[in-house]
């Protein structure tokens, strides 16, 4: 394509006023693209603020009800749920108990907000006594998560959340075959209509540490490097995504999002027909909060910039701890 050069071409003409900038803006973040993570803890009296995540709480079921009313009013249409059970054991059995905290939370939300989109994260790190994302077996190199044993328990958990009323199942443990296994289990139990949002590409990141305080799910020994991806790898992300697409994932996710914009871009180019999510992780929320508190960055502008960068890279929707604040800002916005 032949472009006229300066002085015929003057890109500044289309930046002259707020109205024209808005007219030619390529990407917008709207409240309808945002998913709010919530933490619900069994046996809690009242809500408890998470110290590394100001404004976020571990909620009791009662406080969950209050929170849902508030966010519905704000315009948030989707939540992703994380549970902290009363009891942890080697098998994470509260995850697939029909009386489990997430099963109760799903039912609570469904009554208060029938139209709220309820995404159930499926993993075991919050439910196991050792804090790993699956069932730990001894190997010749020490303890490690056993893939296929974990798949058996993932089936039960997915079906239990589906029975409770979840709208979307989101396995986050990076087990091989997790999508195929959950798809088959859902189909066999009359839940063929429920979509799977796969954490297809999840890196072993340093940006999850506040989440681990919130969900009380830090590994008691070792790390997650045998199941989450090596952060130096990009081509491998395409392989992970390809497998999940073949296994029947309805939607894919890249996590973390902001520090992996190249991966969002590549996955979207490879699978433009599949909705793609990006996870804006707890560590990044904490960093922006801390800098904003010191007056070192403008919180609102920084958050808008980062969320927009994920959309521009190709994300269709974003899981973010800033969902509520974003809606507040949007609702009180004067046109910019």
Positions annotated as catalytic residues are 202, 255
**Tokens coding 94:** 């509260």
What is the nearest approach in angstroms of Zn ion to the Cβ of residue 216? 12
Which of the listed partners (Zn ion, ligand PBG, none) does 58 bind, with a CB threshold of 5 to 8 Å by partner kind? none
Strand, coil or helix: 215: helix
Pick between residue 112 and residue 302 the one whose CB is nearest to ligand PBG.
302
Q: What contacts 286, CB < 8 A, 6 or more positions away?
A: 52, 53, 210
- 84 is a site residue for Zn ion (CB under 5 A): no
Q: Is 227 helix (H, G, I), strand (E, B) or coil?
A: coil
Which residues of this chain interact with ligand PBG, rule CB under 6 A? 121, 123, 125, 133, 172-173, 208, 211-212, 224, 281-282
Helix (H, G, I), strand (E, B), or coil: what is residue 153? Answer: helix
Binder of residue 277, out of Zn ion, ligand PBG, none (CB less than 5 to 8 A by kind): none
DSSP, collapsed to helix, strand or coil, labels residue 165 as coil
Give 66's Cβ-side CA count (13 Å radius). 9
Pairwise CA distance, residues 309 & 303, whole Å: 10
Residues 256-275 that bind Zn ion (CB under 5 A): none
Using the CB atoms, write b or e for 51-60: b if 16+ within 10 Å: ebbeebbbbb
Q: Quick one: 94 or 121, whose CB is closer to ligand PBG?
A: 121
CA distance 216 to 235: 32
Q: How far is the CB of 277 from Zn ion (least distance, A)?
A: 17
Site string for Zn ion, 171-210 (x = CB under 5 A): --x-------------------------------------
- Closer by beta carbon to ligand PBG, 160 or else 282: 282
Q: Which of 74, 133, 168, 323 binds Zn ion (CB under 5 A)?
A: 133
CB of 80 to Zn ion, least distance (A): 13
Owner of token pair 């940006």: 207
Contact of residue 282 among Zn ion, ligand PBG, none (CB under 5-8 Å per partner type): ligand PBG
Rank residues 125 and 252 by Cβ distance to ligand PBG and give the closer one.
125
How far is Cα 290 from Cα 83, in angstroms, rounded to an integer? 26
On the 0-12 / 13-18 / 19+ scale of CB atoms within 10 A, 192 is exposed
CB of 123 to Zn ion, least distance (A): 3
Residue 112 or residue 291: which is nearer to ligand PBG going by CB? 291
């Amino acid at each position: 394509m032949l472009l006229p050069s300066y002085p015929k071409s003057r890109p500044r003409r289309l930046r002259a006023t707020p109205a024209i900038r808005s007219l030619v803006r390529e990407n917008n973040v709207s409240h309808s693209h945002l998913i709010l993570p919530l933490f619900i803890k069994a046996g809690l009296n009242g809500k408890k603020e998470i110290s590394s995540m100001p404004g976020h709480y571990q909620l009791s079921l009662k406080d969950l009800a209050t929170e849902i009313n508030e966010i519905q009013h704000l315009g948030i249409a989707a939540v992703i749920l994380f549970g902290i059970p009363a009891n942890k054991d080697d098998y994470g059995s509260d995850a697939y108990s029909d009386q489990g905290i997430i099963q109760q939370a799903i039912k609570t939300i469904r009554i208060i907000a029938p139209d709220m989109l309820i995404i159930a994260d499926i993993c075991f790190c919050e439910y196991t006594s050792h804090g790993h994302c699956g069932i730990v077996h001894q190997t010749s190199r020490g303890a490690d998560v056993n893939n296929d044993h974990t798949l058996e328990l993932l089936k039960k958990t997915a079906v239990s959340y589906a029975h409770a009323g979840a709208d979307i199942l989101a396995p986050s443990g990076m087990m091989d075959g997790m999508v195929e296994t959950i798809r088959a289990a859902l189909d066999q139990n009359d839940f063929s209509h429920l979509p799977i949002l796969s954490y297809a590409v999840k890196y072993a990141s340093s940006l999850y540490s506040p989440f681990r305080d919130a969900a009380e799910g830090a590994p008691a020994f070792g790390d997650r490097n045998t199941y989450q991806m090596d952060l130096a790898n990009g081509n491998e992300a395409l392989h992970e995504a390809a497998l999940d697409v073949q296994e029947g994932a309805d939607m894919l996710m890249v996590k973390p999002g902001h520090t992996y914009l190249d991966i969002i871009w590549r996955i979207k180019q490879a699978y433009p027909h599949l909705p793609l999510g990006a996870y804006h992780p707890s560590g990044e929320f904490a960093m922006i909060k801390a800098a904003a508190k010191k007056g070192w960055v403008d919180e609102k502008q920084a958050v808008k910039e980062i969320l927009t960068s994920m959309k521009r890279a190709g994300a269709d929707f974003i899981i973010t701890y800033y969902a509520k604040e974003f809606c507040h800002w949007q609702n009180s916005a004067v046109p910019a």
